[in-house]
Amino acid sequence: MNSVIAAKGLSKHYGKHVAVDDISFDIAPGRIVGLIGPNGSGKTTTLKAALGLIPFDGELSVMGFDPRTQRDALMQEVCFIADVAILPKWLSVAQAIDFVAGVHPRFNRAKAERYLAATKLTPAMKVKAMSKGMIVQLHLALVMAIDAKLLVLDEPTLGLDIMYRKQFYQNLMEDYFDEHKTIVITTHQVEEVEHILTDLMFIRDGKIVLSASMDEVGERYTEVMVAAEKLNAANALQPIDSRTVFGKSVMLFDGVPRSQLAALGETRNPSVADLFVATMKGSYA
């Protein structure tokens, strides 16, 4: 299997509104892909199409299956999490384990119980009696025990404080991910997933505006703190974005050799957050 997810001409309309607009992309096995975009950009719609949750136009293959006609087989290979902080209040730890064991054929009960043994959670404890951190631990135990080839995370840490968000991603990398698994993440906390991503996809107004590996991003984009006397020379190279930091101009360039930019001032790799803001300017107007 060359691609875990392969889309060609993928589109989704809600009446006259175009949620996803004729996009094509491939996600290879063993990658961690950040699908990043502002609210209403089409990222969640794209994930729902890949999971067979909505009808769509175009071609889409996920784990070699057509989500429209082979969803039952597909979901045996996939784990989907929309929000780790949400579980029914009445649910106990034991009931959560029983439920997942009953619905997912790749769930390993012993692995979940081993993970929970290292926490303060007990089988009889109910979600309504747990702190947010405990709920994260329970959700993680359920997820880590599913041997799914594809993990889809849609804003997984929404509403959690920074400690629990960091814990979630640390456990994800230590206890779940390996070269045989693929993870697709959408999140607004771009800076928190930057260090684990292998690939970036920016989506805006239903279209993919950037699709590249993190290595390619590092080679392609350069940020320069431009010396005052070099502003005209810098502008002549057509930066894709410019902002002022402590009275100094910081410009972002796409595809300009770093050796050429070094003459203008201090160079560095832009953060994913800065690249996202530059790419999405005008989206929040």
How far from 231 is each of 254, 266, 269, CA to CA, in Å? Answer: 17, 13, 19
The whole-number pLDDT of residue 84 equals 62
Say which residues have a Cβ less than 8 Å from residue 276's Cβ, sequence separation at least 6.
36, 190, 202
pLDDT at 86: 74
Q: CB neighbours (10 Å) of residue 81?
A: 19
Q: Give all strands (DSSP E) within the chain, no chain letters.
A: 5-14, 17-27, 32-36, 57-62, 78-81, 150-154, 182-186, 199-204, 207-213, 221-226, 241-245, 248-254, 265-268
Residues of the chain falling short of pLDDT 70: 1, 83-85, 282-285
Would you state the pLDDT for residue 282?
Answer: 53
Q: What is the pLDDT of residue 279?
A: 85
CATH class of 5-205: alpha beta
Rounded to two decimals, the pTM is: 0.86
Token digits of residue 136? 């994260």
